[in-house]
Amino acid sequence: MRRYSISIALCTYNGEKYLQEQLASIGSQTRLPDELIISDDGSHDGTMEIIKEYQANSSFPVILNRNDKQLGVVKNFENAISLCRGDIIFLCDQDDYWYAEKLKTIEAIFIQTKCGMVFTNAEIVDESLNPLGYSLFTPYRCSPNYFGKKEQMELSYNPFKFLLKHNILTGATMAFRSSYKDIILPIPPIWDHDRWIGIIITAQSAITFLSKLLIKYRQHGKNEVGGPQRKVSGLLTKARKRGQKYYQNEIIKIETLYNRLLQHSGEKEIFESLKYLEEYLKYLYSTSNLPKNLFYRLPYIIKSLLNGNYLRYSCGWQQVGLDMFFYQ
């Protein structure tokens, strides 16, 4: 059976409270990694001692890099990814817990398919790893049932457009082929690293979604990102951040993405993605300049709804509601 070399890119920063459990779960994999790359962003607690002890007793190579100055989450992951030498790169957070079959299960998908990336579901747990009764995709319209009821589904039909509209990727559940490193890196600071990686890869490749729970995604109040909001108050707070500033920020993001893909525009799939981004930018430019007064804004919203732009470039009726009542 074919075998890929596997790298894990783990980023740490003051992670002593949960890091030992995460490292133990990596060491308990039924298919061990070929290397574990740890990029530490200047921890000043017991993180370094935990890593060095693990490094000394590990049955596989553990490469530790400590940044000279603090880089932040996105650039720290960029650094970790750049150091990975394996065929497949798994992203890893310091505070989660991996099921023992995670590496073996995902490696098998890369062997069986030509997909560029695999992402999975995750069990949401509290700080003591107790299940909270729902998974990473439960609160989303984009649940496993949105993709289909299969346990494993290859998203080969417009996954690029889908992920531009639905920000559903979580880095802790992702793995991708290292052949995409050249186009992924460097990661623009305005983008979340996981969403950037996913969209870049889907611009030129199919991806596979696996509904199986392969990690315990820990919620402890200090997560850099954390799980999806379920409470109405949290959703309203998030909604109020949308509006003119949101669209202006999206324009910068999409222009950055467009320019990166343009550098690699020789491939047919990327050319098609660039054409779509040009249309998407026109939509963003016009929507970022809507009148603040709802009375004057409403005709544009109705026009965009009737010509299909809301379904084509955003989340449909949800975005209509946001533009009507939360446009700031």
Bridge partners (DSSP) of residue 208 are 118, 154
Q: Kindly state whether residues 85 and 174 are assigned to the same domain.
A: yes
Q: Kindly state whether residues 253 and 319 are assigned to the same domain.
A: yes
Q: Kindly state whether residues 184 and 251 are assigned to the same domain.
A: no
Q: Kindly state whether residues 259 and 185 are assigned to the same domain.
A: no
Residue 59 is assigned to a structural domain of this protein = yes
* Domain final residue, candidates 184, 218, 252: 218
Q: Which residues span the domain enclosing 44? A: 6-218
Output 225 or 180, whichever has higher pLDDT: 180
Residues 6+ apart with CB under 8 A from 97: 21, 22, 25, 125, 129, 215, 216, 218
Give the mean model confidence (pLDDT) for residues 33-48: 98
Residue 108 is assigned to a structural domain of this protein = yes
Residue 1 is assigned to a structural domain of this protein = no
pLDDT of residue 141: 43
Q: Is residue 230 predicted with pLDDT exceeding 60?
A: no
Q: Kindly state whether residues 68 and 199 are assigned to the same domain.
A: yes
Residue 224 is assigned to a structural domain of this protein = no
Q: What confidence category does residue 298 fall into, taking pLDDT thresholds of 50, 70 and 90?
A: very high
Residues 6+ apart with CB under 8 A from 292: 244, 327, 328
Task: Measure CA of the first residue to CA of the last residue in the chain; give whole Å.
Answer: 56
Within a 10 A sphere around the Cβ of 288, how many other Cβ atoms? Answer: 16
Task: Give the CATH number, domain containing residue 33.
Answer: 3.90.550.10
* Domain final residue, candidates 218, 245, 274: 218
pLDDT of residue 145: 45
Residue 40 is assigned to a structural domain of this protein = yes
| 54 Ramachandran zone, left/alpha/beta (phi>0; psi -120 to 50) | alpha
Q: Kindly state whether residues 25 and 173 are assigned to the same domain.
A: yes
What is the tally of structural domains in the chain? Answer: 2
> Using CA atoms, how far apart are residues 144 and 211, in angstroms rounded to an integer?
6
pLDDT of residue 242: 54
Cβ 166 vs Cβ 315: under 8 Å: yes
pLDDT in tens, 61-92: 999 999 999 999 999 999 999 999 999 999 99
Q: Is residue 163 predicted with pLDDT exceeding 70?
A: yes
Q: Kindly state whether residues 103 and 202 are assigned to the same domain.
A: yes
Q: Is residue 290 predicted with pLDDT exceeding 90?
A: no
Residue 226 is assigned to a structural domain of this protein = no
Residue 272 is assigned to a structural domain of this protein = yes
Q: Kindly state whether residues 203 and 256 are assigned to the same domain.
A: no
Q: What confidence category does residue 142 fall into, taking pLDDT thresholds of 50, 70 and 90?
A: very low
pLDDT in tens, 98-114: 999 999 999 999 999 99
Output 240 or 46, whichever has higher pLDDT: 46
Q: Kindly state whether residues 206 and 270 are assigned to the same domain.
A: no
> What's the whole-number average pLDDT of the chain?
88
Q: Kindly state whether residues 128 and 101 are assigned to the same domain.
A: yes
Residues 6+ apart with CB under 8 A from 311: none
Q: Kindly state whether residues 171 and 252 are assigned to the same domain.
A: no
Q: Is residue 148 predicted with pLDDT exceeding 70?
A: no
* Domain final residue, candidates 218, 251, 284: 218
Q: What confidence category does residue 220 fall into, taking pLDDT thresholds of 50, 70 and 90?
A: confident
Q: Kindly state whether residues 259 and 156 are assigned to the same domain.
A: no
Residue 223 is assigned to a structural domain of this protein = no
> Using CA atoms, how far apart are residues 263 and 82, in angstroms rounded to an integer?
19
